[in-house]
Amino acid sequence: MCGIVGYIGDKKAVEFLIEGLTKLEYRGYDSAGIAVNCGLNIFVEKAVGRLDALKEKLKNREPEGNIGIGHTRWATHGRPSDSNAHPHTDCSGKFVVVHNGIIENYMALKEDLISRGHKFISETDTEVVPHLLEELYNGNFLESVQKVLNKIEGSYSLVFMSKDNPDTLICAKQDNPLVVGLGKGENFIASDIPAIISKTRDTYILNDGEIAVVKKDSVKIFNRKGEPVGKKIFHVSWNAEAAEKGGYEHFMLKEINEQPKAVRDTMSKRILKDDSAVILEELNWDKKFLDDINKIYIVACGTAYHAGLVGKFYIEKLARKLVEVDLASEYRYRDPIVDENTLVIVISQSGETSDTLAALKESKRLGAKTLAVTNVVGSSIAREAEFVIHTWAGPEIAVASTKAYTTQLILMFMLALYMAEIGKTISPERTKELIDLLKKIPAQISETLSDVDPIKTFARQYGFNEDVFYIGRSLDYDVALEGALKLKEISYIHAEAYASGELKHGTLALIVEGVPVIALATQKSVYEKTLSNIKEVKARDAVVIGIAAEGDTELEKYLDHVIFVPNTDELLIPLLAVVPLQLLAYYAAITRGCDVDKPRNLAKSVTVE
Ligand code: AGP
């Protein structure tokens, strides 16, 4: 999730580039850079760290040119560094590119380009693009860009600049946002509307497959076949703050809705083309590595801990390895039984949570093999662990974790499949069946997000209750824990999750008339038992809202309300069942007038113990 800007007009390009990147700072990034065509050469400057580091480098040496591109990077391939920052150039420095997205076939392209003598200086996937343009350039800028686009696979928003075409920027969109801002005698390009909203509110919003040829006094749009595309001007009526949230009222709602893309991105490049296996190039484990491991710990905090509970279920079910899950703040003080035959997996969105980092360091001191599952490339936890695999959720701004959780589940599921493949603990047929279902999850999350009205209604009806219970068995219990945390942390309602089989051992005493109970009943293997627990709370006149898989006709006979999620293998349903719980928490917090993105007493990354 990088930030992109471009300018072409009569003013100094660098002024808009820096101003535009500043407006995109909220998205989170780890490095930044600009390139300006100064006629004799293309000026490029990049800096790791905050935008101020780039501004410092530009002091007293700002380029004069009137055409330029800029970028703030959220690292996915290649750690944060000056050399990995964008823009990237070809060998000659004639072609310069900025990119947001993931180029899935970059390794093959890079190897071919190296064999043709191209020299690479970064670890990024993006750098193959300017070298491809150098290789394919035939004098016609647009034609050559189209040839490049035909070679690359994956998601991208790209902006191209060429020394030999000082009056033109070309940009292309596939799966990642890109807008062209229409000025007077000048035009702007950005990955996000906030970057240009102070310059113009008239924009072309590019669609997938579209290419824009942007000059200072014209913008022409083409499709991938090179045919001209007519575009309506989209007039942006949002204010600047709303624009940062992509038109959503809060970052949390934006990030809940980003989950289909975040999950798809996290899966990308990690499934073989024939869907026969998961590939985790970052690990490169073999059977001996796994055979030497006689115990696995998953250690994390908060939402990441809840993802670890689901991860335990996946690894034990699919890879048949013993897993223990522990809170990072507890693990360290238990004198854990850890040695060189233990694998400790730490999960952390931010990669900076002190309790988790400390648990990781303790595990290494005890001789364990360590794996980090984190969303931030180059974070402390990513750098500390022996192995690291990244969720590609993009920056998560809201304090309440949502897309981080679902991408953590996806990655834990893929890790379990990867381990099962090595250990041959499930059949190739079962592996393919699960991968086919896995690939359907992004669309099913979208489907779950498409009808929020019933959830809004429940939130308004029960948003003023002071006690809410979440119950479920097996994976439903793990998701219930996450649902309860969401409600607690942003609406301040006292919510508790219970294994529904546990109610009769005490908590049932709290279930009285009118108490809202969210009952998850998606796990077929324990459905009958769950149903009898639901009847227990109904018999005490609780108000029960069920979460069930489509096709369930039983639950409605007993419940006031049932929210259905698309049906799939019960292992994967947590990825869908959590979505209505996220939305329920969100709308309950709205009902109560809470600060959804910045709830009281909480921080996005808890860097204190
Ligand atoms: C979850 O919504 C909270 N923001 C919090 O529990 C969070 O999951 C926890 O602090 C762990 O953060 P991490 O994933 O960045 O390590």
Q: Residue 594 catalytic?
A: no
CA dihedral in degrees (108, 111, 114, 118; nearest 10)? 30
Same domain, yes or no, for 236 and 100?
yes
Ligand 1 mean position, distance from CA 354 (Å): 11
Same domain, yes or no, for 94 and 152?
yes
Which atom number of ligand 1 is nearest to the Cα of residue 356?
Answer: 16
Alpha-carbon span 171 to 187, nearest angstrom? 12
**38: in domain:** yes
Same domain, yes or no, for 260 and 197?
no
Mean pLDDT of all residues in 388-412: 95
Q: Given strand 154-162, what is the order of strands in its sheet?
A: 88-89, 95-103, 154-162, 169-174, 211-215, 218-222
List all residues whose CB is within 6 A of at least one atom of ligand 1: 301-304, 348-350, 353, 356, 399-401, 489, 605-606
**562: in domain:** yes
Exposure on the CB side of residue 608, measured as CA atoms within 13 A = 2
Range of the domain at 117: 3-244
Q: Where are the beta strands (DSSP E) in 550-598?
A: 561-565
Ligand 1 mean position, distance from CA 383 (Å): 19
The 3-state DSSP class for residue 559 equals coil
Same domain, yes or no, for 272 and 226?
no
Q: Residue 604 catalytic?
A: yes
**126: in domain:** yes
**601: in domain:** no
Ligand 1 mean position, distance from CA 55 (Å): 32
Per-residue pLDDT reduced to its tens digit, 124-164? 999 999 999 999 999 999 999 999 999 999 989 999 999 99
Same domain, yes or no, for 433 and 453?
no
Q: What's the CATH code of the domain at 74?
A: 3.60.20.10
Q: Where are the beta strands (DSSP E) in 90-147?
A: 95-103
DSSP-derived letter for residue 513 is T
pLDDT at position 175 is 84
Q: Is residue 142 a contact partner of residue 170, using CB atoms and an 8 Å limit?
A: yes
Exposure on the CB side of residue 484, measured as CA atoms within 13 A = 25
Q: Given the DSSP bridges, would you call strands 323-327 and 295-300 parallel, antiparallel or unpaired?
A: parallel
Same domain, yes or no, for 181 and 296?
no
For 413, phi then psi, to 5°, come to: -65, -45
Number of domains in the chain: 3
**333: in domain:** yes
Alpha-carbon span 442 to 13, nearest angstrom? 39
Same domain, yes or no, for 64 and 194?
yes
**45: in domain:** yes
Domain stop point among 184, 209, 244: 244
pLDDT at position 76 is 79
Pick the residue whose CA is nearest to atom 16 on ligand 1.
Answer: 348
pLDDT at position 310 is 98
Pick the residue whose CA is nearest to atom 4 on ligand 1.
Answer: 400
Domain stop point among 225, 244, 263: 244
pLDDT at position 242 is 73
For residues 243 and 351, the model is more confident at 351
Per-residue pLDDT reduced to its tens digit, 69-88? 999 998 877 889 999 999 99
**16: in domain:** yes
Same domain, yes or no, for 469 and 431?
no
Same domain, yes or no, for 236 and 259?
no
Q: From 121, 151, 120, 115, select the one nearest 133 (Cα to Cα).
A: 151
Same domain, yes or no, for 225 and 174?
yes
DSSP-derived letter for residue 605 is S
Domain stop point among 410, 439, 468: 439
Q: From 303, 293, 316, select the one nearest 416 (Cα to Cα).
A: 316
Q: What's the CATH code of the domain at 579?
A: 3.40.50.10490
Per-residue pLDDT reduced to its tens digit, 187-208? 999 998 889 999 999 999 999 9
Same domain, yes or no, for 367 and 388?
yes
Pick the residue whose CA is nearest to atom 3 on ligand 1.
Answer: 400
Ligand 1 mean position, distance from CA 42 (Å): 43
What's the pTM value of the predicted model, to 2 decimals?
Answer: 0.84
Which atom number of ligand 1 is nearest to the Cα of residue 604?
Answer: 4
Same domain, yes or no, for 402 and 496?
no
Pick the residue whose CA is nearest to atom 5 on ligand 1.
Answer: 302
